[in-house]
Amino acid sequence: MQVTKDMLMGDLLRKDINVAYILMASGMHCVGCPSSQMESLEEAAAVHGIDCDKLVAAINEFFANKEASANAEA
């Protein structure tokens, strides 16, 4: 899975709820807020003063590691 800045927060969290840990660790503590679900990752990062490019890279690294782990087990 490739994450982009324009992905909606709600969609991203539905793909894998564990992304919430990455978001919260970066300072985005609004992951449970209903209004955040319709914000893009870029919009939410801007509101919290977070570098969206770094956040996207961290989330993509998470998904790459998860996929590599799944492939190793197969």
How many angstroms separate the CA atoms of 13 and 49, rounded?
A: 20
Cα radius of gyration rounded to whole Å, the chain: 12
Q: Is the pLDDT of residue 74 over 90?
A: no
Q: Given CA atoms 52, 5, 22, 65 in this order, what sign does their dihedral have?
A: negative
How many angstroms separate the CA atoms of 6 and 43, rounded?
A: 8
pLDDT of residue 45: 93
How many angstroms separate the CA atoms of 41 and 58, rounded?
A: 13
**Average of per-residue pLDDT across 38-64:** 95
Give the pLDDT confidence of 7-44 residue by residue, as tens digits. Answer: 999 999 999 999 999 999 999 887 888 878 889 999 99
Comparing 74 with 20, which gets the higher pLDDT? 20
